[in-house]
Amino acid sequence: MPGETDRDERDHGGGGVKTLAILSRKGGTGKTTVSLHLAVAAWRAGLGVLLADCDRQGSAGEWRRERRTTGPVVISAKSAALFATQQAADRAGRDLMIIDTSPTASEELADAVRCADFCLIVLRPSFLDVRAVAETAELVARFGKSGAFVINQAPPRRSNKEMACVGDTVRQLSAMGIPVMPIGLRSRIAYQQSIGEGQTVLESSPSSAAAKEIGGLWNAVQARLWPAPVLELSDEAAEA
């Protein structure tokens, strides 16, 4: 059953709640869609998930009200109260808190970055989006937080080649000192359709290319939130 699957070999328990901040200073990047899909991916992996909706539009809350089944907990939250929300999630035994931030002033983004274990900066492959994320990348670096860019709404390949805008975006982002996620998301109507039904593509079309994209992105995010332990050889083993 979703939400009751066996956990993988990573240790998600015992270390307190992990916090993932989904950031974008620009509207229309699909930030909330990414937040909801990652929340459901984590929930389906067996984690206790809280999504803190700091976006003034309250889109994540609208999605939760439309949903007709169980899933991650979604609450409305103020950026100034995120630390208290994080502490409450930890006391409740949650494994993961996802912050869906508002595309507003840097002060509100700073509150989310302070609480985060990992920051995911969402943008489309366009000139204006790249310009808009530069300040966010500086904010993440200033707080010494781990983070990465994820390219969303990328156009489909033509003749098995990426469009020039995708390559140009990756090159510009590479100069900002924050890595680009190896998994990006294409522009697909399936994402919007599933959200409108209170679902995600993981549920409405689990065998689709969109579901595979989300699964790959969740695996990449999970590896950064809960890195696999590095096993150290004993002196005896090293000499064998």
pLDDT digits (tens, 9 = 90+) for 77-100: 999 999 999 999 999 999 999 999
Residue 235 belongs to a domain:
no
Residue 230 belongs to a domain:
no
SS3 label, residue 19: strand
Tens digit of each residue's pLDDT (9 = 90 or more) over 20-38? 999 998 889 999 999 999 9
Contact in structure between 49 and 94 (CB atoms under 8 Å): yes
Q: Please, which pLDDT band fits residue 13 given cuts at 50, 70 and 90?
A: very low
Residue 68 DSSP code: -
Tens digit of each residue's pLDDT (9 = 90 or more) over 144-196? 999 999 999 999 999 989 999 999 999 999 999 999 999 999 999 999 999 99
Question: Across all residues in the chain, what is the average pLDDT?
Answer: 90
Provide mean pLDDT across the span 134-143: 95
Provide mean pLDDT across the span 190-203: 97
pLDDT > 80? residue 5: no
Residue 141 belongs to a domain:
yes
For the chain, the domain total comes to 1
Residue 188 belongs to a domain:
yes
pLDDT > 60? residue 101: yes
Residue 238 belongs to a domain:
no
- Please report the pLDDT score of residue 25 as a whole number: 86
Cα–Cα distance, 152 to 129 (Å, whole number): 11
Provide mean pLDDT across the span 52-71: 95
pLDDT > 50? residue 4: no
Cβ neighbours, 10 Å, residue 170: 16
CATH number for the domain that contains residue 100: 3.40.50.300
Residue 79 DSSP code: G
- Please report the pLDDT score of residue 2 as a whole number: 41
Residue 193 belongs to a domain:
yes
- Please report the pLDDT score of residue 103 as a whole number: 84
- Please report the pLDDT score of residue 107 as a whole number: 84
Provide mean pLDDT across the span 10-22: 76
Provide mean pLDDT across the span 109-116: 96
Residue 211 belongs to a domain:
yes
pLDDT: which is higher, 81 or 106:
81
Provide mean pLDDT across the span 222-232: 85
Cα–Cα distance, 93 to 57 (Å, whole number): 28
Q: Please, which pLDDT band fits residue 11 given cuts at 50, 70 and 90?
A: very low
User: By residue range, what is the domain housing residue 157?
Assistant: 18-225
- Please report the pLDDT score of residue 231 as a whole number: 64
Cα–Cα distance, 17 to 28 (Å, whole number): 29
Residue 42 belongs to a domain:
yes
- Alpha-helical regions (H) of 48-163: 59-66, 82-91, 106-115, 127-142
Cα–Cα distance, 148 to 121 (Å, whole number): 6
pLDDT > 60? residue 1: no
